[in-house]
Amino acid sequence: MSGAPRKFIEVGAGSGAFQKGGFFIPNAASYTTPSINGWTATILSNTANGAKDGAMATTTSDPDKYMAVNVIGAVGPINVTAGYQTRGNSYSSNVIGASTTLGDLTIAGNFNTHSVDSASTLTFPKAKTSSYLLSAAYKLQESLTLVGGYGANDLSSDQSMTNVGVKLDLSKRTYTYISYVRATGGAQSSLAQRGNYALTGTSNTT
């Protein structure tokens, strides 16, 4: 299953004065519908008012006003997910993804659009960006899996990221892995540099 829409629900609004500690979204509530023919929907939104630095504050026009919707289901053997998120005066995103398993091979992909609000103070090279991701995992043995992925966006004509790796399960809850990541066109291959960008340059991380 593609993970992007679920992250809209779990990760949310990003940094800001209303956010305290990690990816927590204060003054928020979420609801997940009962399963209807295998489909569920989840919506998350924070309240218009809440505590900010020890005092009541209104977030209607605040950059941390946030809402996300996620839908998950299946069409035959294909898992499908779609999501939408918006953060006040900052950005909005849409994503759709699908995955399926064929024997020992699992393949997945998603397409995402990200738009920056005209009133936003965020620094971003384009007002609207599109990107896609394709990934695959092949089980070589019961505990050994070969993984790989390719993603690209339209920030520049050659901005992309490719990774290959091997994952070794040590137990049901523990695993170790090794991977190689190559990023082009200013994309960052290092996890420590995620969220940073440029329009030129190539980086490699193992």
134-188 pLDDT, tens per residue? Answer: 999 999 999 999 999 999 988 766 788 899 999 999 998 999 999 999 888 777 7
102: Cβ contacts below 8 Å, ≥ 6 apart? none
Return the DSSP state at 34.
P
The DSSP secondary-structure symbol of 66 reads E
Cα-trace Rg, the chain: 19
Number of Cβ within 10 Å of residue 43's Cβ equals 16
| Residue 91, pLDDT score | 84
Q: In the structure encoding, which two tokens stand for residue 156, read together?
A: 């520049």
User: What's the pLDDT score for residue 28?
Assistant: 79
Least confident range from 34-43, 63-72, 122-131: namely: 122-131
- Distance, first Cα to last Cα, the chain: 25
Question: In terms of pTM, does the model score above 0.75?
Answer: no
Q: What is the pLDDT of residues 35-64, one digit of tens each?
A: 999 999 999 988 655 555 655 555 555 556
